[in-house]
Amino acid sequence: NLVKVDFKRDNYVWMSEKKNKKIIIFASGDGTNAEQIIKYFKKNKSINVQYILTNKYDAGVLERAKKHEIPAFFYNNEAFEKKIVFELLISVKPDLIVLAGFIRKIPDIIISKFPNKIINIHPALLPSHGGKGMYGNEVHKSVIKSNDSTTGITIHFVNSDYDKGKIILQKSIKVDSKDTPNSLSKRVQKLEHKYYPLVIEKLLNEQSR
């Protein structure tokens, strides 16, 4: 149900526990946001990416985790249903759970146990172009179809409804008349890579006050 992806440094988990603040990243895809977060905090003495969790056995994020020697787990739907993932989170006690291109709904039992400690990034200006099924290029197609003049990113807390948690930060860019879903994706992704690590750092620093 829950399979650890083994890396060279088996003792990495124990070494990383010396840091004060622990992040767990959930990702389903290629993992570019996850990698930016890993790189941003790699030399941070108090904040650490503890694990990468994915619900896809062939997700690109696993290779990125391996490259940076971050322990990673693949889990199937049964692991969620049997609360195996929940029990892992309880044992690790992360200070922040970060969704980075994660397309599965987070169970209410996890949300209630970690209030205001689960965040997501959405590639549009919520509440527009949000909800179930709105991820990746589907979002950018919707923006172009709607003839929106601006788009951007929304970083928000996660609640029991898709993309409806309290907004933490929004940043926008103009939509060009020549934009395609792919070109828009690339420009929006630059905002994601720049601002997601900064928001994570700010939230964790605020916890310490």
Q: What is the DSSP letter of 101?
A: S
Residues annotated catalytic, as ranges: 122
What's the distance, CA 43 to chain centroid?
A: 20
**Given phi > 0 = left and psi -120 to 50 = alpha, else beta, which region is 79?**
alpha
**DSSP assignment letter at 34:** H
Rounded Cα distance, 10 and 71, in Å: 9
Query: Distance from CA of residue 58 to its chain's centroid?
Result: 17
CA 106, CA 73: separation in Å to the nearest integer? 16
DSSP single-letter state for residue 87: H
